[in-house]
Structure 1
Amino acid sequence: MESIEADRAAWAVAKIGRARQHGLELQGRLATWAAIANPRPVATISSDRLSWEVRLSKFDPPPLLEWALILGDAIHNLRAALDVLVWAHADEAGLTTGQAKSIAFPVWTDESAWNQKADRTLKGVPLDVVARIRQCQPFERPAEERSSDPLVILSDLDNRDKHRLALTTIAELHEAKWQHAVEFADEEASRRNVPPNVTVHSACLEPSALLLSGTTVDPVDRVAGNRALTWQVGIDPGNGFIGFAQLIEALASYVLTVVAHVAIGSAAAQRGEHPTG
């Protein structure tokens, strides 16, 4: 039985694998761009030497739209994995053309939607499979958790990319390591500038973006130190920023759990548990 069910899930699993390939491609493209563009902090001192600033160097901006297209492909493969899973279990021969067009993996946060639509959306699907699909529905979670269910996030991203505009990608600072020192002509001047007057600015991945700035009482001799920045690119699906790789892997892992639960029937299914526990 398990081998038959696994065969039915093969195309769904292949699509999950394809989504993960897109995730690896995005990581590779980001690394290649970062190596070539090399955005780095650059310190300068004003002409009167009473202020200084650290800005990002000039570089070619990241191709965020191109990366959004790859992300969209990954999202579509994951959403399609759920739909083909349902199709693999449906008795297509017993469906009319209109009924066949309605077959899909439902993602509902309201149980009333299931009660009203499940018979049409899952027509021709064996009852035990329907029962396991129901166990995966977001409405099986507590009300306050439903909007953050991975299937809800996946479906929302899929609909946004298909029917609206490209997914809005964001580049933000992931980590900053500073060994920063403002040096003066002598010790007396150094003491007069304690504590330092320094402003930390919001970091965005744009050429010449301002990172740090400061003013002094005495002329600055030089701005020294080592500065290392790490950037990450991702989106905000509605509950905070998440990097491309992390998002795709989190959704892929969850969809794979759902596929196994529905197609093969796991111990969780036998206990009547939600896939996430």
Structure 2
Amino acid sequence: MNVTSQRSIYPGKDFSAWPFHKAARAYELVCQLRDEYNSYRASLGRESVSESDPTQRIFSVRARLRHEPDSIRWSLLFGDAIHNYRASLDAFAWEMAHLEGATLADELEHRLYFPLARTQAHWAAMVKSTLSSMPSFVRDRLEINQPFRYGEPDLAAGVVLHRLDLTDKHRASLAMMIEMASRSTFALRVESFENSDSFSMAGIASEELWRQEPVRDGALLWRFRSELPLRSLVIDKLPMYLSVSDGDENLRAFDLLDLIDRQVVGILLSTCFGVPSSNWTSYILGDQPRPEMVVEDLSGSTACG
């Protein structure tokens, strides 16, 4: 494998920019989903209500969700984003297999999709068949991003993306729900009957009461016990997050989408340019926010070294 090739290929110039447009569309849908989720959280106002037992100095905190989330719409947005990411990779594989007028036999074209090899042997078999028309430098760059190069191939973002895509297309919707983050940090607003200068949070003990399940209005979340008599105890914003279930496990939706976006963008840019520009590299590694991607600019050199 030769990964030292300095050759660059440009979408919109050397091949169709359609794979990049599909990735850009996927990210638009992710942003739309994030905006709608944030708007929903903002519309709730204070997200908890407390019940007190002054004699025992106990406060019970329950979820206060004034209206239900639009989980069906969120599932549709999530599924559409997943489909576009997967389509981006498959369209990219097609373009790479037909680069510079290369062709594949009909039976191989029907089996052409973005490679996700869980073993070295699987990769070697694809190189001899569906990937055989790709230039060697393209195959070498694609090999670096194959699942078998991860410690746990089934957890590679590309494999998870493929599984979610198939689930949404062939089985059922990817269920979206709001869950609580266990043992998380949150802002607790307390008013004491005592002088505030002498009040100490060290005198408050907490107990988590919720189970790992979707948060519902009125769900009992915590019980707080105080050594001092308290006037009120309020949690304005609960430590909640949006999760997605494929029927087997629940995953944090935005963490997963961010991971998939970084990997898809990383595959596209590293295959085209070898080494993406420093700002894109920092994003792909998870160190920096996502730069703006203008697909038309990639026909120049804005995304390469």
Please give the TM-score of this superposition, normalised by the length of structure 2.
0.69
Deviation of 1:66 (Å): 1.7
Range moving further from structure 2, 48-57 or 77-86: 48-57
Contact kept? 1:180, 1:226, Cα under 8 Å: yes
Written as runs of structure 1 = structure 2, the 5 A alignment for 1:1-277 is 2=8, 4=10, 7=13, 8=15, 10-38=17-45, 40-45=47-52, 52-91=59-98, 94-141=103-150, 144-174=151-181, 175-180=185-190, 199-202=207-210, 204-213=214-223, 223-230=231-238, 231-235=240-244, 241-244=251-254, 246-266=255-275
Distance 1:241 1:263 in 2: 31
Contact kept? 1:56, 1:209, Cα under 8 Å: yes
Contact kept? 1:177, 1:229, Cα under 8 Å: yes
Greater Cα radius of gyration, structure 1 or 2: 1
- Aligned-partner SS, 1:225: strand
Q: 1:18 to 1:36 in 2, by over 3 A?
A: same
Contact kept? 2:242, 2:253, Cα under 8 Å: yes
5+ residue gaps, structure 1, are 185-193, 268-274
Distance 1:21 1:259 in 2: 17
Distance 2:46 2:79 in 1: 26
Contact kept? 2:75, 2:173, Cα under 8 Å: yes
More helix by share: 1
Q: 1:127 to 1:3 in 2, by over 3 A?
A: closer
Give the partner amino acid of 2:90: D
Range moving further from structure 2, 170-179 or 78-87: 170-179
Distance 1:86 1:17 in 2: 17
Contact kept? 2:243, 2:250, Cα under 8 Å: no
Distance 1:23 1:87 in 2: 25
Deviations 1:211-249 (A, max 9, x none): 2236899xx9864134222422133688974342x3223
Range moving further from structure 2, 61-70 or 37-46: 37-46
Give the partner amino acid of 2:174: L
Contact kept? 2:203, 2:226, Cα under 8 Å: no
The two structures, once aligned, show a CA RMSD in angstroms of 3.6
- Aligned-partner SS, 1:177: coil
Deviation of 1:121 (Å): 2.5
Aligned residues: 255
Q: Which residue is 1:191 aligned to?
A: none
Give the partner amino acid of 1:160: T
Please give the TM-score of this superposition, normalised by the length of structure 1.
0.75
Distance 1:222 1:260 in 2: 57
Q: 1:249 to 1:216 in 2, by over 3 A?
A: closer
Q: 1:164 to 1:207 in 2, by over 3 A?
A: same
5+ residue gaps, structure 2, are 1-6, 195-201, 277-283, 286-305
Give the partner amino acid of 1:126: P
Contact kept? 1:6, 1:264, Cα under 8 Å: no
Contact kept? 1:99, 1:123, Cα under 8 Å: no
Deviation of 1:29 (Å): 0.6
Q: 1:13 to 1:59 in 2, by over 3 A?
A: same
Percent of residue pairs identical: 22
Deviation of 1:182 (Å): 7.3
